[in-house]
Structure 1
């Protein structure tokens, strides 16, 4: 949860993934990430998140992928609608106009009958089959939640189960349950849990096996919390927690596990917290936070008594001494070089002059696979400032790229430049921006990094070193 609440980027999917935990588990959010709420509480951030999502609505009712952008993501729009419906039910003020236009968009898209090639892994091996876009079934579920269920379209997929993946069967069944049609629910929902195994997607519906199984658990906890499959799915998710990477996986898994934990609200468990064998505190039903210096470098044990289940987490923070980022290329390569703006010469030795204007060239190379939603993070050295994040194509720089990077969104901060783009297989894309060398001295040069936000197999880190800024020329 702390990862979600503190996630630093803000496309529509990531924005909603940060908001859902704060909507459902306000007290827990303050407990696990107190530094986020020194000036405001989760209610404030939920309200601000609602306003942000509303401001991202496009002409057709969908939600833009990036704030200020003109392109939407279907799954992101359904996900945002899911949140807004839940927020409205929780008593938050949601624009009726925005919600109605968004629901109209979902209703229209759900009728498309579009399909795609879906990869799943069975006991017989890897299988590819045509199924309905997962966004369709998710749209039907959210429409049912909003009391605008589309029975005709639901019946179409109920009669064609070969078009529905295992996780979407739960969503389709849940749609019927939300509309009070329990006979149809029991006809569709599987009688036993079989883990859904599929490929991880870097874009589109952001699919993965963790997310798929977490959705199944969410549906059961929503409509049939006594279902016998629930403990099995919880066990599967907890055993695979170390593979949770993306905000989608963490959000759906946390929401499901959080709902499951709330079912144990009547537990009467008492837990003694022992440090080196001595009790320093006791849990007896109310949320407890222990931040004692005695915990440092000690043996900590928990001794429980009573009936029921309770959950705990621990967090350690600090800066490692002489810790270095491992420089490597996995499925892509990121490189950075500097040039003099005035002379066009490459600056290979990382030696600069105070007041000098330099051009930073960023090159992103794809290997043998495409990937979406790549974030490039270029941390600049202390003593440097970003002068101009974009070079005008008319600039008289001889190396202005013939292969410009398609930057979908750019975030300029005091100490870094963030670029969001896609990876193109077997191609190198380039981006240029200007830096001003401000202060004399010797500074650490952090690595430049690139990674897929939804698949950790795609990453590249390179270029750590030291830069020296000498006295201004002529002085």
Structure 2
């Protein structure tokens, strides 16, 4: 039976080339096909050339190569070129662009532009017109903020014993953010989990991917599960936990410990114990964890804790490993007592001021060895005096571990009040001593402390925004025990209020891209950059066709840990991944 018909498929204006057409017919006992091809091309083929991305205010060049494919047009074809920038861009060259493009040949041109302040994808239009014909082509360029996405936190506590009856507190947003991807949230609660929500907001946007960091992001999701009050959606929980489980499966070494990055063959003992703790908590909550990974990890924890350790960081990992075994019902009393004696012989009583003592206290308490446990549980001091190597020198981490151990394993007559366990964690946020590990452990500690506090929810809790014109706007709060509100861009100040005499916790989370250049921070670490050309000469400015050697000098006033240096590459440049470029990369230590 003869059939006729047609199908129309639009060809994009950017496509110039051969289109192949295939038709296949299938009958009961026969198969037939036909093919054809056609060349689709514009009269003038325009190939735009743009940087991959630019930042607001950047001045840069765009251009294009224009080919004349009009048959019979001759050698003297004059083309008028228009470059139409997006509304937010500024054309720095306004003179007409005229090209002579003979038939079958091409010519190139370049013009300068200045990027506007609107971030996101922007379209630049190129138009070539001549000999009665007109052709256009468009290309997009990404406008990216000059500063990386980051999250900053402010928190506080209303304490009737110190603040009296004035149950009102204030915070002010400190950053001007682009509206795109801006998230500014204020929270208030009579539970310390208000601080935990702020920390979770910090972790959710954490940009790095070592084993510890991925586990730290996922750990609170395992503890809390889907919890809208806490800012954890069902999608968040699935995404964080599945990614962590996959990474742990991929990075587990032959002995059962975990490498920090893909392709590494050495593990960090402390973070390997931490990852095992994460898997055990997931197993308790009947999550679909990789069983074989957990079995191998728990065996490694047992083997590791049986070995003698003589350095404080390794001794911290061993104490953590002994504690972790007791959480699975394993009795390690003999090993824990022997380890305590070894520590006393090596360090006297100094080690008892560290997190090593806290993990041993938790282990002893779990084994009903109350006398030994109470002797090792010491509250965080008001002023941290430790000068031990990291992470034992981390006061915030000590406070987080103390809150977890004391709340989980000690009775009310032994540990501090829930408020006193939370104060060091709030101080950690206020002093900006956060990183992924202590932030995640702080959430664990806050969750444990919150379980020991009575569930009080005052209807008097309020959040209001004050604009620059002094107008007060009550904010709509959502949640049950933890109330949160989205903060409008017009807010200059925030007012948190509650019921006199009743403690409440409050926080402000600001996440996004800064539209203003943040003030430089001087906090013990300085960064200096040197730029050299291919000949090794120092320069301050480079053209797009030059090779740039970037040397970063990082200097710390004293030892610093958990430092990430993020270098943003200017638009139009890319990392040299050639054999020569990779061979020239080096790290210099002084």
| TM-score normalised by L of structure 1 | 0.67
Aligned to 1:14: 213
Measure, in 2, the Cα distance between the counterparts of 1:68 and 1:53: 13
Whether 2:392 is the aligned partner of 1:211: answer no
| Residue in structure 2 matched with residue 268 of structure 1 by the alignment | 457
Q: Does 1:110 align with 2:305?
A: yes
The DSSP-based 3-state class of the residue aligned with 1:313 is strand
What is the distance in 2 between the residues matched to 1:305 and 1:282? 16
Give the deviation of 1:104 after TM superposition.
Answer: 2.1
Structure 2 partner of 1:323: 517
The answer as to whether partners of 1:140 and 1:149 remain within 8 angstroms in 2 is no
Task: Note if 1:90 corresponds to 2:281.
Answer: no
SS in 2 for 1:312: strand
CA contact (8 A) 2:212 2:275 kept: yes
1:165 aligns with 2:352: yes
Provide the rounded CA distance (Å) in 2 between the counterparts of 1:41 and 1:321: 27
* Alpha carbons of structure 1 residues 307 and 351: separation in structure 2 relative to 1, 3 Å: closer
Alignment check: 8 A CA contact 1:78 1:139 kept: yes
| Residues 199, 23 of structure 1: alpha-carbon distance in 2 compared, 3 angstrom cutoff | farther
Corresponding residue SS for 1:173 = helix
Q: In structure 2, which of residues 550, 557, 568 is the aligned counterpart of residue 379 of structure 1? A: 568
Q: 1:337 aligns with which of 512, 531, 534?
A: 531
Deviations 1:25-48 (A, max 9, x none): 3455x55668xx6x9332332122
Q: Provide the residue aligned with 1:65 in structure 2.
A: 260
| SS across alignment from 2:571 | coil
Report the count of equivalent residues.
375
Structure 2: distance between partners of 1:386 and 1:134: 40
Bigger relative contact order (CA 8 A; separation at least 6): 2
- RMSD value, Cα: 3.6
Tell me the TM-score normalised to structure 2 length.
0.55
Runs of at least 5 residues in structure 2 that lack an aligned partner in the other structure:
1-198, 466-470
Deviations 1:279-327 (A, max 9, x none): 554678444332264x733654344249965543223456555425639
Q: Distance in 1 between matches of 2:500 and 2:560?
A: 50
SS of 2:209's equivalent in the other structure is: coil
The structure that has the greater radius of gyration is 2
Give the deviation of 1:106 after TM superposition.
1.8
Q: Deviations over 1:189-221 (max 9, x none)?
A: 44766566423756xx47412211221121011
Secondary structure at 1:4 match in 2: helix
- 2:121 maps to none
SS at match of 1:335: strand
Match of 1:150 in 2: 332
How far apart are residue 55 of structure 1 and its match?
1.4
- Does the 8 Å CA contact 2:380/2:424 hold for their aligned counterparts? no
- Separation in structure 1 between the aligned mates of residue 408 and residue 277 of structure 2, nearest angstrom: 13
Offset, 1:382: 1.4
2:316 paired residue among 121, 129, 134: 134
Distance 1:369 1:108 in 2: 35
1:351 and 2:542 correspond: yes
Report the CA distance shift for 1:149/1:352 in structure 2 as closer, same or farther (over 3 A): farther
User: In the alignment, which residue of structure 2 is the partner of 1:312?
Assistant: 506
Counterpart of 1:301 in 2: which secondary structure?
strand
**5+ residue gaps in structure 1?**
119-131, 406-422, 428-475
Contact 2:360 2:373 in 1 (8 A): no
Question: Are residues 390 and 80 of structure 1, via their aligned partners in 2, closer, same or farther at CA, if it must alter by over 3 Å?
Answer: farther
CA 182–60 in structure 1, closer or farther in 2 if over 3 Å, else same: same
CA distance in 2, matches of 1:233, 1:112: 33
Q: CA distance change for structure 1 residues 102 and 383 in 2, over 3 Å: closer, same or farther?
A: same
Superposed displacement of residue 73, structure 1: 0.6
